């Protein structure tokens, strides 16, 4: 009784993959150089691994790729130092994705590319009985780009969450300052309360970084400017600008913050009203196609019925 050629081919694919795995393992250095990660970022990494075990599974392989990316020099074709700089900024602005360094993120892209390369190879074999290398490379390309798409999505969502939580957080800060506390003590109370109630609140996380910087001697203005550089929020930029102006003019900070919160709420309300007014115009174009399809279905049935009665 002969063996089905499909199983032979599938076994060959598995054997090739195992051989490739051993080949890659041969390039694993005895001493993997890791990028330094400590403090708040290390805490975020541990927490991310606890929430999703898949990170713990792929992290050793990610570190191997990161080891080689760390050694890559700049070339005419690829300025990797610029890529690292852009990735560091994006990782910092994406919340928990900041638990990984730029080199580790590139290593994660390589691991995802390898996994989807194998998936594409197996999928093409199951569909056509022949492994299609182009399909596998398409899968690898998609896999390499998936972490970048996830990173951009995390950045956008975190910015939305910060803009949404900003007025409420500043209200608490104003109430504490109205009760007689200075800015740093009020900020400490808001951050402590926020970490207890919702440790995943990105606004509380960023204010916690501001508080840590001020405790180690950074000027309040510099710590707030660093906050704006990390977050890139239009509302936060206007608020920090008003705070810096109040320091120069000696205006009570609580009054300035209260005015800024009202301004932010008015801007958000105007933005929502504008989006609502544009929704009717944006939905008009797809509705035309839907209406046309409905008319075709109704008229088509009527025409067929008339033709049948005529015959």
Per-residue pLDDT of 219-264, as tens digits, reads 888 999 988 888 888 888 988 888 888 888 888 888 888 888 888 8
Mean per-residue pLDDT, 280-288:
80
pLDDT at 97: 58
Express as a percent the part of the chain with pLDDT over 90. 3
Quote the pLDDT of residue 145. 92
pLDDT at 74: 76
Determine the pLDDT at residue 10.
Answer: 61
Alpha carbon distance 246, 250 (integer Å): 6
**CA separation for the pair 129, 123 (Å, rounded):** 9
* CB 98 within 8 Å of CB 41: yes
pTM of the complete model beyond 0.85: no
Question: What span, in angstroms and rounded, lies between the C-alpha atoms of 59 and 43?
Answer: 16
Q: Is residue 17 over pLDDT 70?
A: no
236 in Cβ contact with 227 (< 8 Å): yes
pLDDT digits (tens, 9 = 90+) for 132-155: 788 888 888 998 999 999 899 988
pLDDT, tens digit (0-9, with 9 covering 90-100), for 41-91 = 667 777 777 777 777 777 778 888 887 888 877 777 778 888 888 888 888
- What average pLDDT does this structure show over 163-180? 88
56 vs 148: CA distance, rounded Å? 19
pLDDT at position 51: 74
Greater confidence (251 vs 9) lies with 251
Q: SS3 of 184, please?
A: helix
Confidence check: pLDDT of 39 > 80: no
What is the rounded average pLDDT of the residues 14-31? 59
Could you give all domains of the chain from N- to C-terminal order, each with its CATH number? 5-158 (no CATH), 159-268 (1.20.81)
């Amino acid at each position: 009784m002969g063996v089905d050629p499909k199983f032979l081919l599938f076994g060959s694919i598995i054997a090739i993959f195992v051989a490739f795995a051993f080949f890659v393992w041969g390039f694993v250095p005895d001493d993997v150089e890791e990028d330094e990660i400590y403090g708040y970022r290390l805490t975020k990494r541990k927490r991310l691994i606890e929430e999703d075990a898949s990170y713990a599974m792929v992290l050793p392989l990610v570190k191997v790729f990161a080891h080689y990316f760390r050694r890559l020099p700049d070339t005419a074709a690829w300025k990797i130092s610029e890529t690292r700089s852009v990735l560091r900024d994006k990782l910092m602005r994406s919340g928990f994705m900041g638990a990984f360094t730029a080199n580790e993120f590139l290593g994660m892209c390589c691991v995802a590319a390898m996994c989807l390369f194998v998936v594409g190879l197996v999928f093409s074999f199951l569909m056509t009985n022949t492994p299609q290398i182009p399909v596998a490379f398409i899968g690898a390309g998609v896999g390499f780009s998936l972490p970048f798409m996830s990173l951009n999505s995390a950045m956008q969502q975190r910015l939305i969450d910060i803009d949404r939580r900003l007025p409420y957080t500043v209200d608490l800060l104003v109430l504490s300052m109205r009760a007689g506390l200075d800015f740093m003590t009020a900020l400490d109370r808001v951050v402590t309360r926020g970490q207890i109630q919702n440790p995943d609140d990105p606004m509380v996380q960023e204010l916690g970084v501001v508080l840590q910087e001020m405790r180690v001697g950074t000027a309040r203005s510099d710590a707030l400017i660093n906050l704006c550089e990390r977050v890139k929020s239009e509302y936060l930029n206007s608020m920090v600008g008003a705070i810096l102006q109040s320091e120069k003019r000696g205006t009570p900070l609580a009054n300035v913050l209260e005015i800024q919160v009202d301004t932010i709420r008015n801007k958000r309300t105007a933005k929502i009203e504008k989006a609502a007014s544009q929704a009717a115009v944006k939905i008009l174009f797809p509705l035309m196609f839907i209406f046309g399809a409905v008319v075709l279905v109704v008229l088509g049935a009527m025409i067929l019925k008339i033709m049948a009665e005529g015959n």
